[in-house]
Amino acid sequence: MKKLLIVMSLGLLLSSCTTKTYLYNWGSYRNSKEASDYEVVMYDYYHTQSPESVCALLCQYEYMVKHPGGTRGVIPPGICAEYGYLLLQPETAANFLSHATKKQKETYGQMGDYGAMFREKGMEMLQKEMELYPESTVFIGPLIKKFSHQ
């Protein structure tokens, strides 16, 4: 009887092992030892600062905003702010137009005027950050004011 109890306890313990769950969706993980898609793309962006890395980062942000996932089902903190700020940078639309791949352009639709669309979406993302995380208003409010006057 004692052996049966031990075997059942071990079985219960092993059956409770599940895959890792995350509070937020940071993109897919290839395995537990690798970084998320977001971490890889962000590292590349900061490391190279190339127009291609900007395009990849924009598409990663768009994916994260459209597929919040995680156990909370909410966009991770700071993502909307980072995304909005990047969209509002003057050179972002020009870089995207000239360096994005066909697949990356499909993320936003085939259009010529990315400038206006990025500006509108950038302001929307900054507002969304304050909506999701009200404590960010102290930082995001002045940014919105700054970009509203440009």
Tell the residue number behind the tokens 């995001």, with chain if given.
140
Total-model pTM: 0.82
Query: Which residue type occupies 40?
Result: V
The pLDDT, as a whole number, for residue 42 is 93
The residue-averaged pLDDT of 38-67 equals: 94
Whether the Cβ atoms of residue 114 and residue 54 lie closer than 8 Å to each other: no
What's the rounded Cα separation, in Å, for the pair 5 and 38? 45
Q: What is the pLDDT of residues 63-103, one digit of tens each?
A: 999 999 888 889 999 999 999 999 999 999 999 999 999 99
Q: What is the pLDDT of residues 3-34, one digit of tens each?
A: 655 555 555 555 555 566 778 878 776 665 67
Enumerate the domain spans of the chain: 21-148
